Chains A and B, each alone.
Chain A
Amino acid sequence: MNVLNFVNAFFGDSAHWHGYDGIPHRLLEHVQYSLTALGIAAAIGLPVGLVTGHTGRGGNALALVATAARALPSFGLLVLMFVLLGLGLLPVMIPLVVLAVPPILVTTYEAVRSVDPSPVDAARGMGMTEPRILLRVEVPVALPLILSGLRSAAIQIVSTATIAAYVSLGGLGRYIVDGLYQRDYEKVVGGATLVAVLALVTLTVFWAVTRVAVSPGVRRSA
């Protein structure tokens, strides 16, 4: 197993464990970029998705936006923004957010819209105001699906932030891109392993959040 030997060598080398180009620092950078982008995307996608899902209007417009955004190649957008705007965090954040908003937006819309109408009617009959219906009835029921949208967005961000190393960003992609240029395959494979592990950790975190946050009643009926 060639690749496993490379992985072993990469993680066994103590030089990879400290300093500016060390694994902890690169990992921290990667997580920072990812969380920032996810936060911005959620701040845009969640409210819009919740409101449109609640009123049931604008579904076609959302589908159009999602299709268009999906057709945009994220790597291409990344390089384009870098070429146009130069070095910095902004040219990287734009493609990451553009990438992450559609899954959050569309999944949230679909989740809220597909909530069983009878509890919503019951809540309305009990005299709950519309914002309370949305927050107390629709969101808890729609939560599993909303979280799955956030999970998709997070995983896409983690993997695209890797590619962002190509345009001089830090993060775990540095190992892959630098390794390819330096013909240091050990570094490349080490970086790839780290990124894959980070993606799987993201998956696990969302699984755990879903376990904790989703009410047992909703989980049973799902």
Chain B
Amino acid sequence: MTGFFDIPSDLQHSWLGLIGLHLREALLPVLAGLVAALPIAQLCARFRWLYPPVLGVTTVLYAVPSLAFFVVLIDYTGQTELTVMIPLAVYSLVVLVPAIVDGVRSVSQETLAAATAMGFGPLRRYLQVQLPIAVPAILAGLRVATVSSISLVSVGALIGNQGALGNLLADAMFYHRPVLAVNSVVTTAVLAILVDALLVLVRLVLTPWMPPGARPKRKAAARPEPAAVAGEEAAR
């Protein structure tokens, strides 16, 4: 494994620099997706008729392959980081909306009534009761969105070296250095696992009332759980 960390100079980054770039390109879209998903999910939880059409639109959006998404955006945003980040933000949004809706809906009526009786207004009730209880579901969605985002950034290499660690793959082919491809795959996978573990840790800190390792109980009905199912659509 000689030359594992010898990054070709055309990438203009060190190995650590590529990791930083990769994390930025992967995590900013997830953050943007989360910020956009919260109000949308709240609307869907409030107005039930809104949820099925929103779910339909998100399923269709999710089916659009990332490469197709990237290249169509080139016309508007050029071969830049933004072109990679916009589709990733959309995919994150699509994963997060059902996760948040399910989480917020799972709060029992009694809990809500108790909060109201304690004098909580709608906003405070949302921020201090509904959101904290929905944290496990939201973080489950966030984990899926983040891991898939980290994996998808590599595809950006196809649209003109915007793939951070994925650019190593292109160079592995140009320079016939398989070790660069190994580096890219291993680093990306380790990065994804580490960020995933970090999010599990965040959940443990945010939900001290749940025993570690406990999973939300599944309903016996044959209803597909959008978050769980969408989760399987992630790693493209």
Q: Considering the complex, which residues of chain A in the window 171-203 have a beta carbon less than 8 Å from any beta carbon of chain B? A: 173, 176-177, 179-180, 185, 188-189, 191-193, 195-196, 199-200, 202-203
A195 touching B65 by the CB < 8 A rule?
yes
B155 touching A75 by the CB < 8 A rule?
yes
B71 touching A188 by the CB < 8 A rule?
yes
From B151, which residue of chain A is reached at the shortest CB distance?
Answer: A73
Instruction: Answer whether residue B48 sits at the interface, using C-beta atoms and an 8 A cutoff.
Output: no
Task: For B159, list chain A residues within 8 Å (CB).
Answer: 180
What 0/1 readout, one digit per residue, does chain A (135-163) give for beta carbons within 8 Å of chain B? 00000011011001100110110111011
Q: Considering the complex, which residues of chain B in the window 195-236 have a beta carbon less than 8 Å from any beta carbon of chain A? A: 196, 218-224, 228-229, 232-236
Task: For A79, list chain B residues within 8 Å (CB).
Answer: 169-170, 172-173, 181, 184
Q: Considering the complex, which residues of chain B in the window 120-152 have a beta carbon less than 8 Å from any beta carbon of chain A? A: 144, 147-148, 150-152
Q: A75–B166 Cα gap in the complex (Å)? A: 8
From A59, which residue of chain B is reached at the shortest CB distance?
Answer: B215
Instruction: Answer whether residue A87 sits at the interface, using C-beta atoms and an 8 A cutoff.
Output: no
From B188, which residue of chain A is reached at the shortest CB distance?
Answer: A73
Number of A-B contacts (CB under 8 A): 193
Instruction: Answer whether residue B59 sits at the interface, using C-beta atoms and an 8 A cutoff.
Output: yes
Task: For B181, list chain A residues within 8 Å (CB).
Answer: 76, 79-80, 83-84
Task: For B188, list chain A residues within 8 Å (CB).
Answer: 71, 73, 76
Task: For A82, list chain B residues within 8 Å (CB).
Answer: 173
Q: Which of A8-16, A35-43, A50-58, A103-111 contacts B (4 or more CB under 8 A)?
A: A103-111
Instruction: Answer whether residue A130 sits at the interface, using C-beta atoms and an 8 A cutoff.
Output: no
Instruction: Answer whether residue A218 sits at the interface, using C-beta atoms and an 8 A cutoff.
Output: yes
B178 touching A193 by the CB < 8 A rule?
no
Tell me how far the C-beta of B189 lies from the nearest C-beta in chain A, rounded to whole angstroms: 5
A145 touching B222 by the CB < 8 A rule?
yes
Q: A2–B75 Cα gap in the complex (Å)? A: 8
Q: A202–B96 Cα gap in the complex (Å)? A: 23
Bin chain B's interface residue count: 35 or more
Tell me how far the C-beta of B212 lies from the nearest C-beta in chain A, rounded to whole angstroms: 14
From A84, which residue of chain B is reached at the shortest CB distance?
Answer: B178
Say whether, besides A144-B224, A162-B67, A155 and B72 are in contact (CB < 8 Å).
Answer: no
From A67, which residue of chain B is reached at the shortest CB distance?
Answer: B196
Tell me how far the C-beta of A67 lies from the nearest C-beta in chain B, rounded to whole angstroms: 7
Q: A185–B173 Cα gap in the complex (Å)? A: 24
Instruction: Answer whether residue B68 sits at the interface, using C-beta atoms and an 8 A cutoff.
Output: yes
From A202, which residue of chain B is reached at the shortest CB distance?
Answer: B63
Q: Which of A76, A77, A192, A221 contacts B222 (CB 8 A)?
A: A221
A3 touching B158 by the CB < 8 A rule?
no
From A105, which residue of chain B is reached at the shortest CB distance?
Answer: B232
Q: A159–B62 Cα gap in the complex (Å)? A: 11
B220 touching A76 by the CB < 8 A rule?
no
Say whether, besides A76-B154, A80-B178, A141 and B68 are in contact (CB < 8 Å).
Answer: no
A159 touching B67 by the CB < 8 A rule?
yes
Task: For A163, list chain B residues within 8 Å (CB).
Answer: 67, 155, 158
A-B pairs with the 7 shortest C-beta distances? A159-B65, A103-B232, A192-B68, A71-B192, A76-B185, A79-B169, A73-B151
Query: Could you write out 18 A-B pairs with CB less than 8 Å apart?
Result: A66-B232, A67-B196, A70-B147, A71-B151, A71-B189, A71-B235, A72-B189, A75-B154, A76-B189, A79-B170, A80-B169, A145-B222, A145-B224, A152-B229, A159-B64, A176-B71, A188-B71, A189-B75
Binding site for A on B (CB under 8 A): 59-60, 62-69, 71-72, 74-75, 144, 147-148, 150-152, 154-155, 157-160, 165-166, 169-170, 172-173, 176, 178, 181-182, 184-185, 188-189, 192-193, 196, 218-224, 228-229, 232-236
